[in-house]
Amino acid sequence: MENNHHINSSMYKNKVSVATSSFATVPVIIWLYQQGYLNGVLLYGADGQERMQFEAQLGAVSIPVFYVENDDEKAVKHLDTWQTDLLIVFNCGKILSSTVFDFATYGTVNLHAAALPHYRGPHPIYWQIRSGEKQLLLTAHRVTQKIDSGDILAQYPVEISEFDTHQSLYGKVIQHTPLLLEQLFALDLDLNKTLGIKQAGVPAIKAPRVSQPDLNINWQSTSAKALCDQVRAGNPIYGGAILTLGGASAQLLQASAAVMPNYGVKPGTIIHISPEKGVFVALKDNAVRLDIVANSDGVFDGYRFSQVVGLKTGMQFS
């Protein structure tokens, strides 16, 4: 990228700390340790069982990990003890104060799974799948007071396939993050030498925290592709999308666009049920097949689900 000064990455050996809240980041933390960059981990948000998992797995390879939720003084003390030159924030649910993110010699860099400024927010993977994106850009950017708005230092492309779920795409992000970090560690991150690239424009799409209404299906307006994207975006972490019929609900974990007329019925109406073809529901312009559905009774294909809960053609999802 422009405005970047390159150096020998050995200057960051044993000088990098990580701030995170997610146990899923452990493979990246282990990579940093194996490459000789890591000196310690600041743990935010994770508590109980997840905290014990962190401490057990990282402790087994002698990686220092400390829980510092709401204690900036403790966080800075650890960074000082470790002689941290660079703090990396990855999948951290805590918004760090300037006391923490300004402490390290070269500041703090956040790793964000989107092409900033687009998809700013805590859940970029969900919203990119739901929007039907075909690629995300893993982005390393400087941390500033304004969330996800600092100068961009490095980026790495990750393909989004039409079959990716939230979990499978997150796995790709974890797999490719070391390649992004290799780019980052090739830079002299002195604030006076590598300025990075300013984020330009207003984000076309944001990535807010996923809420219950986001999981509901809007039968009146959705298309088959949009519904399938919504379902895989929420699979499995949010339970796909929510099917509601009467007072009962279920999780739609997989759906497929169907070549079938909607017969002019109201969107959300069940138009076909058979053991050979499954369950089809009308949309405004076409139809969709319910492939995999889960409720408190278990996980079923569409037809078996219809038999368990008593679905009939003509019934309408709300």
Indicate which CATH number applies to the domain containing 288: 3.10.25.10
Tell me, what's the pLDDT at 4? Answer: 60
Residues 219 and 165 in one domain: no
Tell me, what's the pLDDT at 216? Answer: 98
Long-range contacts of 276-281 (CB under 8 A, 24+ apart): 278/302, 278/303, 279/303, 279/305, 279/306, 279/311, 281/219, 281/317
Residues 6 or more apart whose CB falls under 8 angstroms from that of 102 comprise: 108
pLDDT of 47 over the 80 cut: no
Judge whether 314 lies within some domain. Answer: no
CA count, 13 A, side-chain hemisphere, 125 = 26
User: Last residue of a domain, which of 185, 220, 239?
Assistant: 185
Q: Which CA distances in Å does 125 have to 63, 64, 118?
A: 28, 29, 12
Residues 164 and 19 in one domain: yes
Residues 90 and 129 in one domain: yes
Peptide bond into 117 cis (omega under 30): yes
Instruction: Tell me which DSSP letter residue 172 carries.
Output: H
Residues 152 and 221 in one domain: no
Number of structural domains (the chain) is 2
pLDDT band at 1 (very low <50, low <70, confident <90, very high): low
Tell me, what's the pLDDT at 195? Answer: 81
Full DSSP string of 20-58: ES-GGGHHHHHHHHHTT-EEEEEE-S--HHHHHHHHHHH
Residues 34 and 140 in one domain: yes
Report the percentage of the chain scoring pLDDT > 90. Answer: 88
d(CA 237, CA 216): 15
pLDDT of 176 over the 60 cut: yes
Residues 216 and 180 in one domain: no
Rounded mean pLDDT of 257-261? 93
pLDDT band at 3 (very low <50, low <70, confident <90, very high): low
Which of 173-182, 202-211, 284-293 is predicted least confidently? 202-211
Q: What is the CA radius of gyration of the chain?
A: 23
pLDDT of 103 over the 70 cut: yes
d(CA 222, CA 7): 50
Tell me, what's the pLDDT at 48? Answer: 81
Judge whether 277 lies within some domain. Answer: yes
Rounded mean pLDDT of 38-61? 90
pLDDT of 71 over the 90 cut: yes
Judge whether 190 lies within some domain. Answer: no
Judge whether 195 lies within some domain. Answer: no
Residues 167 and 37 in one domain: yes
Judge whether 27 lies within some domain. Answer: yes
Judge whether 106 lies within some domain. Answer: yes
Tell me, what's the pLDDT at 255? Answer: 98
Residues 159 and 14 in one domain: yes
Tell me, what's the pLDDT at 57? Answer: 92
Judge whether 193 lies within some domain. Answer: no
Residues 37 and 118 in one domain: yes
CATH classification at residue 64: 3.40.50.170
pLDDT band at 2 (very low <50, low <70, confident <90, very high): low
When comparing pLDDT for 307 and 47, which is higher? 307
The candidate with the shortest Cα–Cα distance to 9, out of 36, 41, 39, is: 36
Tell me, what's the pLDDT at 211? Answer: 97
* pLDDT tens figures, 190-246: 988 888 999 987 888 999 999 999 999 999 999 999 999 999 999 999 999 999 998
The candidate with the shortest Cα–Cα distance to 306, out of 265, 263, 275, is: 275
Residues 6 or more apart whose CB falls under 8 angstroms from that of 296 comprise: none
User: Last residue of a domain, which of 128, 150, 185?
Assistant: 185
pLDDT of 156 over the 70 cut: yes
Residues 232 and 293 in one domain: yes
- Note down the domain range covering 91: 9-185
Rounded mean pLDDT of 133-147? 97
pLDDT of 8 over the 80 cut: no
d(CA 281, CA 287): 6
pLDDT of 9 over the 80 cut: no
- Confirm if 78 and 69 have CB atoms less than 8 A apart: no
Q: What is the mean pLDDT of the chain?
A: 94
N- to C-terminal Cα distance for the chain? 49
d(CA 299, CA 295): 7
